[in-house]
Amino acid sequence: MRTLLVADLHLSSDTPEINQGFYRYLEHTAPGADALYILGDLFDAWMGDDLLDATDHPLSIVAQEVIKRLHKLSSDGTTVYLMHGNRDFLLGERFVNACQAMLLSDIEEVEIQGVPVVLLHGDSLCTQDEAYMAFRQQSRNPEWQTQILALPLEQRLELAKSLRMQSGEANANKAEAIMDVTQQEVILLMERFGVATMIHGHTHRPHVHDLTVEEVPAKRYVLGDWDSQRGWDIVVERSDHTAPSLRQFSFTELPDT
């Protein structure tokens, strides 16, 4: 019995190697798992489920492939969970239902193979980045989302492109520490849920961090972002002696389990 977790694939029509690597992962590694958790930024940008109607659009073609493969994985017995990231927070019920998946809240407490865990994308922990936190608050506002989704699709896609450029330019001028999580926020969240294990993505800084929460040893697992040759996941086995394992793998040598 095992559970898999991934994040930050940033799939797009410009990432054919990552797309194919993810498809092979779903065909080779994920089958037989109890569950697959995708903790945000499955897509590099998602500006509304009506993209699926634009069947000739390059990103729509990628999305249809993802839907087909996640639906098959789910139909074969692996529960698929999706979470919003900072790039695909407009993923909606239509896409989730088409994948035969379940949508998680922004912060989710779960039990994975007997281990209590708090899951999140990770961007909400980056509280030192005040400009981003202001945008995050705006972009999660239902009224703002309704206004954006009312725009023509092409206009939304151009907006996404503009936002990505602005983000890249802004991040280039920010100190590295500002774009990482705030340690105190991590501890407060783990105390709030009473867990000693946290898993998230977003920062693109894969690592297993040791910390102390309410005088108890704890761990924070950070998933890595996928690139043209390699991916990252976390596997949790059903064993009293096996902790979650953070793995990097080559698309040419995918893990069997």
Whole-number pLDDT of residue 168:
64
Q: Which residues are CB-contacts of 97 (< 8 A; sequence separation ≥ 6)?
A: none
| Ramachandran sector of residue 148 (left: φ over 0; alpha: ψ -120 to 50; beta: rest) | alpha
Residues facing 115 on adjacent strands: 112
Binding-site annotation, residues for Mn(2+): 8, 10, 41, 86, 121, 202, 204
Assign 208 a pLDDT band (cuts: 50, 70, 90).
very high
Binding-site annotation, residues for substrate: 86-87, 129, 167, 171, 174, 202
Mean pLDDT in the chain? 94
In a domain, 257, yes or no: no
* Least reliable range by pLDDT among 120-134, 165-179, 197-211, 243-257: 165-179
In a domain, 67, yes or no: yes
Average pLDDT over residues 209-233: 97
**Distance separating alpha carbons of residues 231 and 8, to the nearest angstrom:** 10
**Distance separating alpha carbons of residues 84 and 129, to the nearest angstrom:** 19
CA-based end-to-end distance of the chain: 10
Whole-number pLDDT of residue 242:
73
Q: Which domain holds residue 42?
A: 2-250
Tell me which long-range contacts 208-215 makes (C-beta under 8 A, separation of at least 24).
208/246, 211/183, 211/186, 211/187, 213/187
How many domains does the structure of the chain reveal? 1
Q: Which of 52-66, 159-173, 241-255 has the highest mean pLDDT?
A: 52-66
In a domain, 129, yes or no: yes
The CATH number linked to 130 is 3.60.21.10
Binding-site annotation, residues: 8, 10, 41, 86-87, 121, 129, 167, 171, 174, 202, 204
Whole-number pLDDT of residue 172:
54
Whole-number pLDDT of residue 175:
63
